[in-house]
Structure 1
Amino acid sequence: MKNILLLFFLGILIVSNAQSSYTLSADSKLTIDGTSTVHSWTVTANTLMGDLTVKDEVLNVINFEVAVSDIMSERGPTMDNKMHAALKKETHPKVVFVLEQVENDSVLVGHLTIAGTKKNIEISTTCNFNEDSIKIIGEKKIILQDFGIEPPTAMFGQIIVGDEVTVNFDLVFTKE
Structure 2
Amino acid sequence: MKRSIYLTLIFSMAVLTGMAQSYSLNNKASKVEVLGTSTLHDWEMTAEQVSGKANLEVSGSDVNIKALSIELKAETLKSGKSSMDKNAYEALKTDDHPTIKYAFKSVSSTSGNKLTTTGTLTLAGVSKTITMPVTATVSGNTVTFKGKYTFKMSSFKIDPPTALMGTVKTGDEITVEFNAQYTK
Name the TM-score, length of structure 1 as normaliser. Answer: 0.91
- C-alpha RMSD of the superposition: 1.9
- 1:93 corresponds to: 98
1:83 deviation in Å? 0.2
- 1:68 corresponds to: 74
- 1:20 corresponds to: 21
Q: Which residue, 107, 126, 132 being the options, matches 2:116?
A: 107
Stretches of 4+ aligned residues off by more than 3 angstroms: 5-10
CA distance, structure 2, for counterparts of residue 71 and residue 130 of structure 1: 28
The one-letter amino acid of 1:68's match is A
Which is worse superposed, 6-15 or 29-38? 6-15
Q: Deviations over 1:116-147 (max 9, x none)?
A: 00000011011101220001111110210000
The one-letter amino acid of 2:21's match is S
1:20 deviation in Å? 1.2
Q: Is 1:29 aligned with 2:31?
A: yes
Q: Deviations over 1:65-107 (max 9, x none)?
A: 0111110112x21111000010010111110000001122311
- 1:164 corresponds to: 173
The one-letter amino acid of 2:24's match is T
In 2 relative to 1, CA 163–61 (structure 1 residues): closer, same or farther, beyond 3 Å?
A: same
The one-letter amino acid of 1:4's match is S
Q: Which residue, 41, 48, 68 being the options, matches 1:46?
A: 48
- 1:145 corresponds to: 154
Q: Is 1:127 aligned with 2:136?
A: yes
- Percent identity between matched residues is 29
Mapping 1:76-87, distance limit 5 Å: 76-87=81-92
Q: Deviations over 1:140-172 (max 9, x none)?
A: 102100001000111111111000001111111
1:42 deviation in Å? 0.7
List alignment gaps of at least 5 residues for structure 2.
none
In 2 relative to 1, CA 133–12 (structure 1 residues): closer, same or farther, beyond 3 Å?
A: closer
List alignment gaps of at least 5 residues for structure 1.
none
1:10 deviation in Å? 5.2
Q: Deviations over 1:43-64 (max 9, x none)?
A: 1111100011113640111111
CA distance, structure 1, for counterparts of residue 84 and residue 136 of structure 2: 33
